[in-house]
Homo-oligomer: A and B are copies of this chain.
């Protein structure tokens, strides 16, 4: 048994993401899963990414992972500032598109997506950093332009 602290315990972002998966399991089918098991599909090595063909449409499970990743960011923003947010994932089968989060008329996250078939991170730590950076940037935008969220 490892004594290393799980990166999930240390990350409000990863905890929020796991909580989303658990919340959408009303019959408890995945109740026995560890937190790590829910997030494991987000972790891809370079070699694993290379093996995913870009000639194929983005598969539904990957779309779902992208949507939940940005939904967890949105949830944290809402918790921190009490603002309602909207998440829009616009993804062409070819793997490009946008992940957008907005509140009122303020775009809190505007991330172009490319090669979305290969959406993933080198480690849970890296994923936690990416998510938390988006949250922090969004909070700074709200604090700078609060009136735009009220339009």
Contacts and interface: CB of A to CB of B under 8 A. Distances in A.
Interface in A99-121: 100, 102, 104-108, 110
A51 B122 CA distance: 51
A145 interface: yes
Contacts of A148: 106, 145, 148
Interface residues on A, range: 10 to 19
Q: Is the interface of A mostly helix, strand, loop or mixed?
A: strand
B102 A107 contact: yes
Contacts of A107: 102, 104-107
A10 interface: no
Contact of A88 (B100, B108, B141, B147): B100
A66 interface: no
A151 B140 CA distance: 12
